[in-house]
Amino acid sequence: MLMAKCEVCFRHCEIKEGALGFCGARTCKNGRVVSENYGRITSCALDPIEKKPLARFFPGSKILSVGSYGCNLRCPFCQNSEISWGEEVAMFQKDQNATSGRMAMVQEVTPDDLVRVALREKDEGNIGVAFTYNEPFISYEFVRDTAKLSQKYGLKNVLVTNGTVELPILRELLPYIDAMNIDLKGFTDRYYEKVLGGNRKVVMDCIEESVKSCHVELTTLIVPGENDDPEEIREMTKWICGLKDKDGKVIGETIPLHVSRFFPRFHMQEKSATAVSTVYRLAEVARESLKYVYTGNC
């Protein structure tokens, strides 16, 4: 039986012909790995840019936000489980006309289709396309093809990502990306590996590479008892502070950080919402190192 290795993230899934990788969105076809969800859109909305969240990238503007399905992490508190890794995702994989709960029908679009919509929405304040809602890197081919075309029309391209991507794939996309919000979900290997099913170093490498090429903002969701230790936040923000641009200049102090409040969701219903006072206190810790710190969901 034909089999191929996926090179998108650290998992390097060995995918059998016709099967899916861990993310639920990449498959093996004729002995090579391809994006099974190429152009398959489950979500599309014209959002304020601040919702991504991006606080210091064309503030006050709007951006056409699109998502597909699948994810290469397993965050138990996922707020978009219907399109990430919940049971509903299997419906999208099997039936392009499937609907589930609040999710819209899966619609197949081409990069041309999406860019036409983005251009049509310019009169409503739209500045471009944001690839968001689920993990965009697992369908990087569609992101790349759309962003290339979008760029030709002067539109901005934004990624909202968990940062779990190998550097060759990231570098293939970066020439077409204007801004990113990257989740830095915590700063311990235990949290990344045991709770999220991820790899902290991979995310840190993604951030280090991305700040050399485009505007980057970071988001940390504060989960009670998991990543709410002030010393962890202090260590994390000191690392951010040392990040450098492509010329080797230290720019980390000016990288925006969004410190967000957790609410019980999905498979993590037993925890209480993060106390607002905790979010504010950890934001103050972050401000010891960083110039732009924002609080969210408070």
Left, alpha or beta for 71 (phi > 0: left; psi -120 to 50: alpha)? Answer: beta
Query: Is residue 20 situated within a structural domain?
Result: no
Q: What is the pLDDT of residue 106?
A: 83
Query: Is residue 2 situated within a structural domain?
Result: no
* Full residue range of the structural domain in which residue 245 is found: 38-296
Query: Is residue 15 situated within a structural domain?
Result: no
What's the structural domain count of the chain? 1
What's the pTM?
0.94
Query: Is residue 12 situated within a structural domain?
Result: no
Query: Is residue 260 situated within a structural domain?
Result: yes
Query: Is residue 162 situated within a structural domain?
Result: yes
| Residue 64 bridge partners (DSSP) | 46, 129
Q: What is the pLDDT of residue 97?
A: 46
Q: In the chain, which residues have pLDDT < 70?
A: 86-105
Q: What is the pLDDT of residue 90?
A: 61
Q: What is the pLDDT of residue 12?
A: 98
How far apart CA 209 and CA 94 sit, in angstroms, is 36
pLDDT digits (tens, 9 = 90+) for 32-70: 999 999 999 999 999 999 999 999 999 999 999 999 999
Of 212, 206, 224, 57, give the one whose Cα is nearest residue 137. Answer: 206
Of 172, 180, 165, give the one whose Cα is nearest residue 218. Answer: 180
Question: For position 54, which CATH number holds?
Answer: 3.20.20.70
Q: What is the pLDDT of residue 92?
A: 59
Query: Is residue 16 situated within a structural domain?
Result: no
Query: Is residue 249 situated within a structural domain?
Result: yes
pLDDT digits (tens, 9 = 90+) for 81-103: 989 986 666 665 555 444 433 33
Of 242, 233, 218, give the one whose Cα is nearest residue 54. Answer: 218
